[in-house]
Amino acid sequence: MRVQATQGRSGSAHVVVLGNEKGGSGKSTTALHVAVALLKAGQRVATIDLDCRQQSFTRYIANRRAWAKRNNVTLELPTHRCIELGTTMQIADNESAELSQFLDAIGAVERNCDFIVIDTPGSDSYLMRLAHSMADTLVTPINDSFLDFDVLATVDAATYSVTGESHYATMVRDFRRKRRQLDGASTDWIVVRNRLSVLNSRNQARLAGGLKELSLRLGFRPIDGLAERSVYREFFPRGLTALDNLDEITLGTRPSLGHVTAREEVLALLRQLKLPLDERGRRRAANRAEWASQVDKPLELHDIVGF
């Protein structure tokens, strides 16, 4: 099957796609933090996992549901769907089955949700391309190294200046152009540097320079994301995020300075994404914050409205 840019969607949901052809860049971690932040801001959120084989996003959400039940705590959960991998010997039949699942998942939620957050596999696939073609916001996390930068561009070994675009960057550029031509919509592309070192280095400066140079050529926004912190790895088995209540009941351990710092950098990341929050969501968040204050359980993220 050949992927074409989508010709507009009948629903009103804003589609956020986490995409990168390289694994281990923090797509699933970022995806859940974005989804939870939106839920805490009063938005109606659906999530879709297109990584049919690994399913890290799906397991992250399942861990969150199980931890909430085990500890009798309230944790926000999105409406979630995971696309199952085609199992026939025919590639075309597999793609057709996966496409049908994906379109059914979109159709089931787009009219009743404000946001759809889609996590894609770390490889080039039919569904990965389809999701990129319909993204309103595309978030591409990369580790803070030239090994990950290679997904976007090649560089000169002596000067570290950009010498060409890589396959993934070319694909995204083409889909963005086709979508503008089809329905006049634009995709906000954001490249997020993850696993940042707390110490500045020459590598960081060179990488930042390369991203800035490439952003002018391709039209994406480079921003700083999540630092290299052990708390993010510890969150996964319990399905937690840096945005959840920082108390011993929720965390299952005493909160540390690392938890507080992680929350601050996640909030900074979310503000830079500039996702469009609707007024209905703002009112839902405000009403929930008012209710929470009356029962002495202040909403941790009421100030996220407007990020």
Which pLDDT belongs to residue 197?
Answer: 73
pLDDT tens string for the chain (307 positions)?
444 444 444 457 999 999 998 878 889 999 999 999 999 999 999 999 998 888 999 999 999 999 999 999 999 999 999 988 767 777 777 778 888 888 899 998 988 999 999 999 988 888 889 899 999 999 999 988 888 899 999 998 888 889 999 999 999 999 999 888 887 888 999 999 988 876 667 888 888 888 999 999 999 999 998 888 889 999 999 999 999 998 999 998 899 999 999 999 999 999 999 999 876 655 555 555 554 444 344 334 444 444 5
What integer pLDDT is reported at residue 231 of this predicted model?
92
* CA pair distance 150, 184, nearest whole angstrom: 30
Fold of 14-304: Rossmann fold (3.40.50)
Residue 34, C-beta contacts closer than 8 angstroms, at least 6 positions apart: 16, 18, 117, 139, 270, 273, 275
Question: How many whole angstroms separate alpha carbon 168 and alpha carbon 123?
Answer: 10
pLDDT number for residue 92? 77
Is-contact 52 126, C-beta < 8 A? Answer: no
pTM: 0.86
Domains of the chain, residue spans: 14-304
Alpha-carbon distance of 171 to 74, in angstroms, equals: 40
Pure H helices in 219-306: 230-235, 248-251, 257-273, 279-294
DSSP code for 227: B
CB under 8 A, 24+ apart: contacts of 270-274? 270/33, 270/34, 270/37, 270/304, 270/307, 271/307, 272/190, 272/221, 272/223, 273/34, 273/137, 273/139, 273/190, 273/223, 273/307, 274/188
Q: Please tell me the predicted confidence (pLDDT) of residue 287.
A: 57
Angstrom distances, CA of residue 10 to CA of 46, 111, 202: 16, 8, 48
Which uninterrupted H or E stretch holds 129? helix 126-133
Q: What pLDDT is attached to residue 198?
A: 64
